[in-house]
Amino acid sequence: MAKDESFDVVSKINVQEVDNAINQTNKEISQRYDFKNSKAEVTREDGNIKIVADDDYKLRSVVDILESKLIRRQVPIKNLKFGKAEEASGGTVRQLVDVKQGIETETAKKIVKDIKSLKLKAQAQIMEDQVRVSAKNRDDLQSVIQYLKGQDYNLELQFINYR
């Protein structure tokens, strides 16, 4: 039995669930009394989320609503990078939220380095926006998964293709 066992470490977000959360957020904004006659809205453009509101207070409220809808739909909040709130046209405030898909190269290098520091017989290699971990022993793979779950890489990691 010389065949290696392996799994992939990825960081993916279900875009359909993000769209659903944005739609629910816009619906709640339209129904709430404190947002009556306001220009608050949330849209998704080019993989990013754009939030527009009348002022900073309403912007924070919209962000809270959006985060609660995303959490309810099991979308990891760690993969969202909130930009700085800036003035927009018409006296409104705009904020861009970057939705991170995949593992960036620097983070992937750190994950590989951390796996090698465990001194297990497991190899890790970077494959585009994911990391493949392979070993002869499933117990080593389980140890790697438990270790990675305990680390904070500022993204939500998923472990797929475990074979």
**pTM across the whole model:** 0.82
> Does 5-12+103-160 match 15-99 in CATH topology?
yes
> How are beta strands 93-99 and 48-53 bridged, if at all?
antiparallel
Top CATH class of 15-99 equals alpha beta
List pLDDT tens digits, range 109-130: 999 998 888 888 888 888 888 8
Q: How many CB atoms lie within 10 A of CB 133?
A: 25
List pLDDT tens digits, range 28-55: 999 989 888 888 899 998 889 999 999 8
Domain ranges within the chain, ordered by starting residue: 5-12+103-160, 15-99
Domain 5-12+103-160 in CATH 3.30.70.860? The answer is: yes
Whether residue 1 contacts residue 137, with contact meaning beta carbons closer than 8 Å, is answered with no
